[in-house]
Amino acid sequence: MVLEFLMFRFGVRAFIGGLIVAVTCASLGVFIVLRRLSLIADGLGHVAFGGIALGFWTGIYPLYTAVASVIAGAFGIHALGRLRVASDAAIAILFSAGLAIGIVLVSMAQSAPADLLSYLFGTILGINDNDVYLAAGLGVIVLLVLFLLWKEWISITLDPDFARVAGMPVTALEILFTVLVGLTVVVATRLVGVLLVSSLMVIPAIAAIQLKQPFRRTVLLALGIAIVSVVIGLQLSFSYNIASGGSIVLVTIGFFILAVLVARLWPRMQKDLLVDDWKHECAKPETKDLIR
């Protein structure tokens, strides 16, 4: 039976949470990949692990402390950048610090909490109503900010020099973008886990980019790939009793391979329309107004 997990309440919760996570991750994923920040989600994921461990240690709901930790991590990355630390090195430092703090706090708790593995590897079929509400709230915030500043994100992604000339607050936008990525990491933690969260953000975007479509169509393709991957991954997890996070990510990898094959076999995919789309955006009157 197709989507038989929807017959159960926990399956409906997983489906709703999965759709929220898929849309949020994929919406940011294209920007992340094009800005060559694919590892930032992984780095903030490990910062989130430190926050989750802090939550277990203090008795606070772990995802609340994870939100605080990724916001602090986002500002930490940019603070290190002001100290002339390269962005990849800054991410590596925060990556290591988050992981180390998490390990130390777990060791101080004498024994690892039983629920800790669900945050590391994901257990979407076991999420509760609070997880869904938190995911929905954070997802709405991320998507609202993303689409309110859509042209600004396109500008700093495809041509940051143009954005600076246009007078956009590029540094503030970059910090805000990193915060959005951090919040999205928290949203996705219960779905695929800290260790795989960057995969759901990055792989659908990479697959969509292979098809070399205009920017908006690329984002929509990434959304479609992420949503279908979550649905298929959930069904595989339910049917064969396998880890939901791993099955979802493996499905996204399958879509990536398919996209590569399509791009190689379809001659029309040889032209990169992203650049042409950016030129078209710059030619619009409302975009030119940003320069004034």
Per residue in 39-75, pLDDT (tens digit) is 888 899 999 999 999 998 888 888 899 999 999 999 9
Whether residue 1 has pLDDT greater than 70: no
Q: Are 245 and 191 in contact (CB under 8 A)?
A: yes
Q: Residue range 90-100: average pLDDT? A: 91
pLDDT at res. 151: 87
- Contacts of residue 141, defined as CB under 8 A and 6 or more positions apart, other chains included, come to 183
Q: Quick one: tokens of 75?
A: 């500002």
pLDDT at res. 33: 93
Q: Are 30 and 208 in contact (CB under 8 A)?
A: yes
pLDDT at res. 196: 80
Phi, psi of 18 (to 5 degrees): -65, -40
Confidence band for 287, pLDDT divided at 50, 70 and 90 = very low
Helix 170-192 to helix 40-58 angle, to the nearest 10 degrees? Answer: 60
pLDDT at res. 182: 92
Q: Tell me: the pLDDT tens digits for 264-276?
A: 887 665 555 555 5
* Percent of the chain scoring above 90 in pLDDT: 39
- Supply the pTM of this predicted model: 0.86
Quickly count: other Cβ atoms within 10 Å of residue 142's Cβ: 23
Domains of the chain by start residue, with CATH = 4-291 (1.10.3470.10)
**How high is the mean pLDDT of the chain?**
85
Highest mean pLDDT among 142-151, 194-203, 239-248: 142-151
CA distance 271 to 35: 20
Whether residue 18 has pLDDT greater than 60: yes
Instruction: Say whether 230 sits in a helix, a strand or coil.
Output: helix
Q: Tell me: the pLDDT tens digits for 172-187?
A: 999 999 999 999 998 8
Q: Tell me: the pLDDT tens digits for 155-178?
A: 888 888 888 888 889 989 999 999
pLDDT at res. 137: 92
